[in-house]
Amino acid sequence: MSYFNRGGATGHSAHIIYIVLLCIVLGFSNGFSKMLKKDSNNDGNIDMWAYYDENGNLIKIEIDSNFDGKLDEWRYFEKGDLVRVETDTNHNGKIDTWSFFEDGKLKRQEQDKNGDGLKEIIVFLDKEGEKERVVIDSNSNGKFDTFSFYKKGELIKQEQDKNEDGKIDTWFYFEKGKLKEARFDTNFDGNVDAIKFYEKGEIIKAQWDSDFDGKIDTWDYIKEARQEQDRNKDGKVDAWLYLNNLGKITEEKIDTNFDGKVDLIKHYQKEILTLEEIDSNHDGQFNVRNEYKKGSLYRQLQDRNKDGKWDLWIYFSKNGEMKKLQIDKDYDGKVDNWYFYKNGKLIRHEQDTNKDGKIDLCWHYGKDGNPIKAYKDKDGDGKWDIFFFYEDGKITRVEEDRNRDGKIDIWKYCNKEGKLIKTEKDLDYDGRPDISF
């Protein structure tokens, strides 16, 4: 077989005669004894040069493949066999591809894709001429970071060194050309901490070791739009996250005490928490409800006696402080106590003692948390008729309007221990005490 002609064979006798006529015998010490020239496209310009040793063995062929007058391909031979081809594929005057042959078959090809003198791609071929391995320097810094493996020309595995520390940290596995599994060492500690599974090239499941302790604790089920987590690392799932078709969380179910039962459910809208349902004593009944506005807790409801009815309500300010608490203390379905707070401190307590739906007792509190005064509607007519005054949390004076005319007619005074020491009465209801004892 002749390597002088591009197609492999010399063609017909006219070409042979032409080659012989162009034969030049060389006697220089450059290793060549004979050179043949050829004008392969008959444009009058030589575009191929073949060099032979003194024994007539072909040593090298130089080619101008695009007929621009510049060499762009060099073929090297040993004992008549092609061993290497160097090519300038983009015709910029620099060799960028090196092909190596054994027994006439291509075994390896190296490529310099950006012309910086460094080889970014090396392709290895098997005995059948199929790809066996491909090595890539993806960012052209002189370090190979991507390694692809083939079987009968089909990609079966790819390994990557993402941080270029010389250690593989990413693995891709393929079946019939489709990605089936991917493994990642995301923190580069030498251990796989993330695995993704694929069907028909699409991800269907992923699992993670979120805290890099060597144990998988998070599972993503893509088709089911669900994520499962093992938060206490006991090998059991204790949190379930549900996603919408955009991958945004809509609901979260949690087993907070790890007894195998869900006791906290969180609801989201546009990834913002809107509602929590809580089983506070882990008996299977959800008895606490937290309601949120714009991601901030604004109300909590509780069913303290587990009768299925709310009997305690807590309201919160925008900064998360409790501002109001109302309770149905006797569980009759009616609120009978109201507590009001400012800056986290109780300032007022109202009570409906006779369950008629009207406030009939009210306390006011000071900055130290102690009561400073209180009012009572004794007969339920909607008007305060008894007034209590405090110092250091203890009653010092009580005033009462017995005849409901809006004027005080009894005054009672107490000492620091809260014991009654004096009483005054207005017997004729003129607003002034008449007797004292």
pLDDT (tens, 9 = 90+) of the chain, 437 residues, equals 334 344 333 332 223 323 333 333 333 345 557 899 999 999 999 999 999 999 899 999 999 999 999 999 999 999 989 999 999 999 999 999 999 999 989 999 999 999 998 999 999 999 999 999 999 999 999 999 999 999 999 999 999 999 999 999 999 999 998 999 999 999 999 999 999 999 988 999 999 999 999 999 999 999 999 999 999 999 999 999 999 988 899 999 999 999 999 999 999 999 999 999 999 999 999 999 999 999 999 999 999 999 999 999 999 999 999 999 999 999 999 999 999 999 989 999 999 999 999 999 999 999 999 999 999 999 888 899 999 999 998 999 999 998 888 899 999 999 988 899 999 998 988 888 889 88
Nearest CA to 233 out of 259, 264, 262, 258 is that of: 258
The pTM of this model reads 0.68
Among 387, 437, 390, 376, residue whose Cα is nearest residue 418: 390
Tokens of 54: 């003194």
> Please, which residues have CB within 8 angstroms of residue 63's CB and are 6 or more apart in sequence?
6, 47, 48, 49, 71, 72, 73, 74, 75
> Which letter does DSSP use for residue 344 in this model?
T
Q: Which residues of 314-331 are buried (b: 16+ CB within 10 A; e: fewer)?
A: bbbbeeeebbebbbbeee
pLDDT of residue 431: 83
The answer to whether residues 161 and 169 touch, using CB atoms and an 8 Å cutoff, is: yes
**Distances from the Cα of 387 to the Cαs of 117, 337, 396, in angstroms?**
97, 19, 11
Burial 227-242 (b: 16+ CB within 10 A, else e): bbbbbeeeeeebbbbe
pLDDT of residue 406: 85
